[in-house]
Chains A and B, each alone.
Chain A
Amino acid sequence: MNVAATPGQGKRMLTSPARVGVYAFLISAAAFFILPLYIMLVTSVKPMEEIQLGNIFALPVSFTIEPWRAAWGSACTGITCEGIRGGFVNSLAITIPSTILAILFGALNGYALSFWRPRGANLLFAILMAGAFIPVQVMIFPLVRILAMLGLFSSLPGIILVHLIFSMPVMTLLFRNYYTSMPQELFKAARIDGGSFLRIFFQLILPMSVPIVIVATIMQVTGVWNDYILGLIFAGRDNLPMTVQLNNVINTTTGVRLYNVNMAATILTSLVPLTIYFISGRWFIRGITAGAIKG
């Protein structure tokens, strides 16, 4: 009757010095990223009087969501005072087509490069990859001229096209690597079964690409949503994305700098990528390893 006396070999030592070290490191690394978020959240729900006391770590004494309302609907962005609401809609209008089209074309590129292997495929791919290493700034002026010639400058289709162009190298690489790790025989079987270029792509390859499509979605949504410079230059006055509006909110001061409104606007702006990360973090890691390592 000595059940309790069995030695607890399976139990891990939680207090060994190495463990303590590991936890200390992990906690401080997490704090490094969480602390700014904490300060932003806390500041955004404090009235200005409390903020002016200077205790940025302190919890709010009198809680208010007024700054959030202001940031969303009435903060001034230059001469108009409508908050960043309009920017949110604009950002959606830019991000959704830019993401869907970029994934579609990136997947098609990767599919063609890794399965159909046309003559000169490697050269084409190398050129595309070289594109990924040229800084965006170099291409801005020529692109402005080109879009102006096409009559697309300062328009929604214009900014979508620009995002599409700049995302092609990475999207292609992502899908090409994912597809190279797929068995060629699958494609050959589909060829014998009579599948055409698009048929094989839509009925066979694309349904098998869910993990990498999720990765591409995350990358593209965050990339496009967080973009500032392209939106500022190519979108035009009526289509300015949320990031540009945010900048305007923060730079427009009439008297006092409204830190709480600024913080609320910033959090609102970063909410979309943040949500996407939280929902799909698990998928993201899985897809990255599936696509990148085997390539």
Chain B
Amino acid sequence: MANVSIRNLNVHLDGNEIIKNLDLDVLDGEFLVLLGPSGCGKSTLLHSIAGLNEVTEGRIEIGGADMTWVDPSQRNIGMVFQSYALYPTMTVERNMSFSLRIKGLPTAEIERRVQRAAEMLQLEPLLKRKPSQLSGGQRQRVAIGRALVREACVFLFDEPLSNLDAKLRNELRRELKMLHKQLGSTMIYVTHDQVEAMTLASRIVVMRNGLIQQIGAPGEVYEKPENLFVAGFLGAPNMNFIRGSLAFTADKLTFVATPLNLDISGYAFRQPPKESQATTLGIRPENIHITPSGRLQGSVSLVEPMGIHQVVWINCCGNMISSIVHETVEYRADQPIRFDIDTSKVSLFDQLEQRL
């Protein structure tokens, strides 16, 4: 068990600045997910924590001890890689015991740990096989097992499920979550898959270009994105964005994007809003309700059936707005419809793309 604390971290790789002045605190026992598009520095950050990258500047502490320049094997971490990185010439059992054999633990202890990990991950029947005789899902479970036997304080996952097919990914995702519940150890998990991030994380760190955009619980990041990037990155289909401006009328504050006119008096502004300030309004598809009594008007341009729900794309005032509909109503193209926007769920962003 340990927390991880990163202070003022700078990482350059091949002369490129990958991570800039990053501060991050990972709490003890937390499942922290680093989320971002490829090239955002999330993997580099993870590898820096593991000690596989050289740090240009800054400090990394694991469990209160300065680990910035400590050898990877001495950091008390276990790591799982995207490509599994199993040792092809060794059996599953020897793959898992490799680190323990290097440490020179007694044979009985090695056996006990391997058995325990194998039990947890249902690997017992596979112990004598070589990695090449395993399926993708089994390989990744062995890789997880190899990290487990070290009984490390912190587990690092580098996109561990990206190479698996969709069904297996869901399965292993659940297993990982159960594993975290069972072990209660600190886990840091890198992914570009928002579903993995939302389902696994106790907190999500959204990164872009080596900078942290937002840190928060999954619900918080989803409901109250700090900026346009975070808002657009999470959620499928994307959050709808409408450009417009703010207007004060009598006792009300409205968002105006002619012909749209929304009462947003209830919005929790961080700074006092200014008259006619240029604003982007973001609203998630599930907060747009198609109803005959709706105040807004548009026409259906496309319907995407998803099984569990359907996504209706509404052509309204020059914008394409998506709405998630759970009822099994059939919509035709060009059909005129009325809808409402749930103004209690909107996010507003200023010209600098920051949350208002």
> Given A194-B103, A195-B102, is A189 in contact with B85 using a C-beta cutoff of 8 Å?
yes
Residue B81 interfacial (CB < 8 Å) = yes
Q: When each residue 64-83 of chain B gets 1 if its CB lies under 8 Å from chain A and 0 otherwise, what string results?
A: 00000001110001110111
| CB pair A192 B89 closer than 8 Å | no
| CB pair B98 A193 closer than 8 Å | yes
| CB pair B83 A191 closer than 8 Å | no
Return chain B residues, CB-CB under 8 Å to A185.
Answer: 81-83, 85
Which bracket fits the contact residues of B? 20 to 34
| CB pair A188 B85 closer than 8 Å | yes
- A186–B79 Cα distance when bound, in Å, is 11
| CB pair B89 A207 closer than 8 Å | yes
Residue A208 interfacial (CB < 8 Å) = yes
Q: When each residue 188-205 of chain A gets 1 if its CB lies under 8 Å from chain B and 0 otherwise, what string results?
A: 111111110001000110
Which bracket fits the contact residues of A? 10 to 19
- A183–B81 Cα distance when bound, in Å, is 11
A-B contact pairs, 7 of them (CB 8 A): A189-B81, A189-B86, A192-B73, A192-B79, A192-B99, A193-B150, A204-B87
- Nearest A-chain residue to B94, judged by Cβ: A203
- Nearest A-chain residue to B78, judged by Cβ: A192
List residues of A (206-231) whose CB comes within 8 Å of B's CBs: 207-208
- A191–B87 Cα distance when bound, in Å, is 12
Q: B345 CB to closest chain A CB, in angstroms? A: 42
Q: B300 CB to closest chain A CB, in angstroms? A: 48
| CB pair B81 A204 closer than 8 Å | no
Residue B88 interfacial (CB < 8 Å) = yes
Return chain B residues, CB-CB under 8 Å to A207.
Answer: 89
- A194–B70 Cα distance when bound, in Å, is 12
- Taking Cβ atoms with an 8 Å cutoff, the residues of B that contact A are 47, 50, 52, 71-73, 77-79, 81-83, 85-89, 98-99, 102-103, 143, 146, 150
- A195–B85 Cα distance when bound, in Å, is 14
List residues of A (152-210) whose CB comes within 8 Å of B's CBs: 183, 185-186, 188-195, 199, 203-204, 207-208
Q: A87 CB to closest chain B CB, in angstroms? A: 39
Return chain A residues, CB-CB under 8 Å to B72.
Answer: 188, 191-192
| CB pair A194 B102 closer than 8 Å | yes
Q: A51 CB to closest chain B CB, in angstroms? A: 55
- A208–B130 Cα distance when bound, in Å, is 13
- A204–B89 Cα distance when bound, in Å, is 7
Return chain A residues, CB-CB under 8 Å to B50.
Answer: 188, 192
- Nearest A-chain residue to B79, judged by Cβ: A192
Return chain B residues, CB-CB under 8 Å to A195.
Answer: 73, 98, 102
- Nearest A-chain residue to B99, judged by Cβ: A193
4 new A-B pairs (CB below 8 Å) besides A189-B79, A195-B102? A183-B83, A192-B72, A192-B73, A193-B98
Q: Shortest 6 CB-CB distances between A and B: which pairs?
A: A194-B73, A193-B99, A185-B85, A189-B85, A207-B89, A185-B81
| CB pair B87 A192 closer than 8 Å | no
Q: B303 CB to closest chain A CB, in angstroms? A: 43
| CB pair A188 B102 closer than 8 Å | no
- A199–B104 Cα distance when bound, in Å, is 13
Return chain B residues, CB-CB under 8 Å to A192.
Answer: 50, 52, 72-73, 77-79, 99
> Given A192-B73, A193-B98, A194-B73, is A183 in contact with B88 using a C-beta cutoff of 8 Å?
no
Q: A253 CB to closest chain B CB, in angstroms? A: 56
- A209–B86 Cα distance when bound, in Å, is 16
| CB pair A191 B52 closer than 8 Å | yes
